[in-house]
Amino acid sequence: MTAEARVSGTDALAAITIPEIFDNRGRVNGLALAEALDVTAGEVAKSVSLTARGLRANPASPRVQRSGQHIAALLARLDHALGARRNALIWLKTPRRQLSGHSPLEILFRGDFSSVETLVYALETGQPV
């Protein structure tokens, strides 16, 4: 791979991020994640076994990191694939028959990332979703 190809690939990846979700140390900020998803802090907190008060006290809690990173990456991919955050949020919050009538966001909040990953990949590659 040429240096030019590596740089353009890196630029493409940099365009598929949501920097406002991360703090200056690269950790997911749960409150910023809630804002990006247009949900309450309590919903994000519950998904990582925290209280809303606990999340507000420590928005970059270690409990937020694993799922927060997965959700932030999927949201960035959806923003890119669907062209706008509004479209990504509509997609995330709409119940899907492939998920037994649950929305992708509900499934993500339960910690089942692979089911939603599969749907996002299908969407990105033009498969029917």
| Model confidence pLDDT, tens digit, residues 60-85 | 999 999 999 999 999 999 999 999 99
Q: What single-letter amino acid sits at 23?
A: D
From 17-21, 60-64, 77-81, 116-120, the region with the lowest mean pLDDT: 17-21
Instruction: At 102, give phi and psi (nearest 5°).
Output: -95, 155
pLDDT at residue number 17: 76
Task: Name the pLDDT band for 129 (thresholds 50, 70, 90).
Answer: confident
Q: Is 91 in contact with 82 (CB distance < 8 Å)?
A: yes
- Quick one: which of 92, 18, 25 has its CA closest to 59? 25
Q: What is the pLDDT of residues 88-97, one digit of tens each?
A: 999 999 999 9
pLDDT at residue number 16: 58
Q: Would the pTM count as exceeding 0.75?
A: yes
pLDDT of 4 strictly over 70: no
